[in-house]
């Protein structure tokens, strides 16, 4: 007998993982999405379970680097002129979150959340039968200047302090691991605990198929309005249809802010637009994920080809894509892998739902006991999805939380 019926808005990886946790605890689940599973950022991410990445984007020294990047309109960080005024309040909050005290608090919260992320994924992989879609080859961080390599060492020391293994490697050793790498690299590190999935969209679709076999119902529709009731709420869809809901989870990524606002929660969610290209025959061998922190992009070998992607562009949800950003990333990637080919590559742009303090919202809605939030994971949506699902299920179940949920509450802003 069902413990209750939960509706989830959003069929990305966070919504799917939340449904998985709930259905295993005996809840009936319906997922509502305007397009279907993995139609947004969940299909185009870099495929990493980056639980070892515990540094918030906001940091005391980032602004010095950011100013350099902003000078290049095709660099790792850009703001579209038409969106500059709209993003200003978010940027001011980001600046406030960059103080040493705030960064320390955010880091502690990320260490806890990401520390539980991999065990949560191990549970989900076992339950859904997707453990065979996982690679455990680690990740290489590469640097092409002695200064950037030196700067990275303090971050590696902090990771080691949290029990995360980081092995610094010489340029010669890096080229032994990645023979097609150019002479440009001066050094780097291997993070062996980093985990990658074969192909993020396929992983989501396989989990969605398993959820259907467990009785989860998928509906296509766009929620226009949430009308709270004494016990639950009513969903009004854009096609005019209405649905009575006893318990609701909002997990629709970049589109979550407007729905939370209807419930009285003014959450400073905005979007970091990310770009990539996936090349089926890249002409070079990339054996594991490559991170290039000084240039703001990654190279990720997938079962469908090599994905070159990353960067941050603030431009909201409606401005057209600037595909020159993909060309700029490819040009930089060829400095490290000169033989890289892009013929037949598929370009993509997606929206990372981001909050100024680099922490997601995993929380009940303010003043609405049966409505919950699971969004704002920025660059770590895939990484943190399974643990987010477990935390939301804990809240709905009324059981003791896996970790302290206070840093992720909706009313912290």
Residue 309, beta-bridge partner list:
276, 298
Q: How far is CA 136 from CA 50, 116, 208, 299, 381, in A?
A: 11, 17, 23, 16, 19
User: Are residues 264 and 274 part of one domain?
Assistant: no
Mean pLDDT of the chain: 95
User: Are residues 220 and 299 part of one domain?
Assistant: no
Confidence of residue 59 (pLDDT cuts 50, 70, 90): confident
Residue 291 buriedness (CB in 10 A; 0-12 / 13-18 / 19+): buried
Domain of residue 211 covers: 1-58+99-136+196-268+356-413
Q: What is the value of pTM for the model shown?
A: 0.96
User: Are residues 276 and 129 part of one domain?
Assistant: no
pLDDT at 401 over 90: no
User: Are residues 116 and 11 part of one domain?
Assistant: yes
User: Are residues 262 and 214 part of one domain?
Assistant: yes
User: Are residues 45 and 23 part of one domain?
Assistant: yes
Cα distance between residue 10 and residue 8, in whole Å: 6
Q: What is the pLDDT, as a whole number, of residue 1?
A: 60
User: Are residues 172 and 27 part of one domain?
Assistant: no
User: Are residues 93 and 190 part of one domain?
Assistant: yes
Q: From 334, 354, 374, give the residue that closes a domain.
A: 354
Rg (CA), the chain: 21
Q: What is the pLDDT, as a whole number, of residue 75?
A: 81
Condensed to tens digits (0 to 9), the pLDDT of residues 331-343 reads: 999 999 999 999 9
Q: From 322, 354, 386, give the residue that closes a domain.
A: 354
User: Are residues 210 and 92 part of one domain?
Assistant: no
pLDDT at 42 over 70: yes
CATH of the domain at 79: 3.30.9.10
User: Are residues 255 and 131 part of one domain?
Assistant: yes
User: Are residues 306 and 246 part of one domain?
Assistant: no
Number of domains in the chain: 2
Condensed to tens digits (0 to 9), the pLDDT of residues 172-229 reads: 999 999 999 999 999 999 999 999 999 999 999 999 999 999 999 999 999 999 999 9
User: Are residues 340 and 292 part of one domain?
Assistant: yes
Mean pLDDT of 145-156: 95
CATH of the domain at 4: 3.50.50.60
């Amino acid at each position: 007998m069902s413990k209750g019926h939960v509706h989830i808005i959003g069929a990305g990886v966070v919504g799917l993982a939340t449904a998985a946790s709930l259905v295993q605890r005996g809840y009936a689940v319906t997922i509502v999405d305007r397009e279907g599973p993995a139609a947004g950022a969940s299909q185009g991410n870099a495929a990493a379970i980056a639980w070892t990445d515990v540094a918030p984007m906001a940091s005391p020294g980032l602004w010095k680097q950011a100013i350099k990047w902003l000078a290049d309109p095709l660099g790792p960080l850009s703001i579209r002129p038409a969106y500059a005024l709209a993003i200003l309040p978010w940027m001011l909050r980001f600046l406030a979150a960059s103080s040493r005290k705030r960064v320390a608090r955010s880091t502690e919260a990320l260490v806890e959340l990401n520390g539980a992320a991999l065990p949560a994924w191990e549970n989900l992989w076992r339950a859904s039968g997707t453990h065979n879609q996982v690679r455990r080859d680690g990740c290489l961080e590469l640097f092409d200047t002695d200064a950037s390599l030196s700067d990275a060492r303090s971050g590696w020391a902090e990771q080691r302090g949290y029990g995360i293994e980081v092995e610094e490697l010489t340029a010669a050793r890096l080229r032994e691991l990645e023979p097609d790498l150019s002479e440009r690299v001066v050094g780097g590190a291997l993070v062996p605990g980093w985990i990658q999935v074969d192909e993020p969209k396929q992983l989501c679709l396989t989990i969605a198929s398993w959820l259907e076999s467990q009785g989860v119902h998928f509906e296509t529709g766009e929620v226009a309005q949430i009308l709270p009731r004494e016990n639950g709420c009513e969903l009004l869809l854009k096609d005019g249809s209405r649905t009575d809901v006893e318990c609701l989870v909002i997990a629709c990524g970049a589109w979550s802010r407007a729905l939370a606002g209807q419930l009285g929660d003014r959450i400073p969610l905005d979007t970091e637009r990310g770009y990539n290209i996936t090349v089926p025959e890249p002409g070079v061998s990339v054996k594991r994920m490559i991170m290039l922190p000084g240039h703001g992009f990654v190279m990720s070998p997938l079962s469908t080809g090599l994905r070159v992607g990353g960067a941050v562009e603030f431009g909201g949800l409606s401005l057209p894509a600037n595909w020159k950003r993909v060309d700029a990333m490819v040009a930089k990637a060829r400095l490290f892998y000169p033989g890289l080919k892009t013929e037949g590559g598929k370009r993509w742009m997606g929206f990372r739902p981001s909050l100024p303090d680099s922490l997601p919202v995993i929380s009940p809605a303010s003043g609405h006991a049966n409505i919950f939030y699971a969004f704002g994971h920025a660059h770590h949506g895939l990484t943190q999805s399974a643990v987010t699902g477990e935390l939301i299920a804990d809240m709905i179940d009324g059981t003791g939380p896996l970790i302290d949920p206070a840093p992720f509450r909706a009313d912290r802003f």
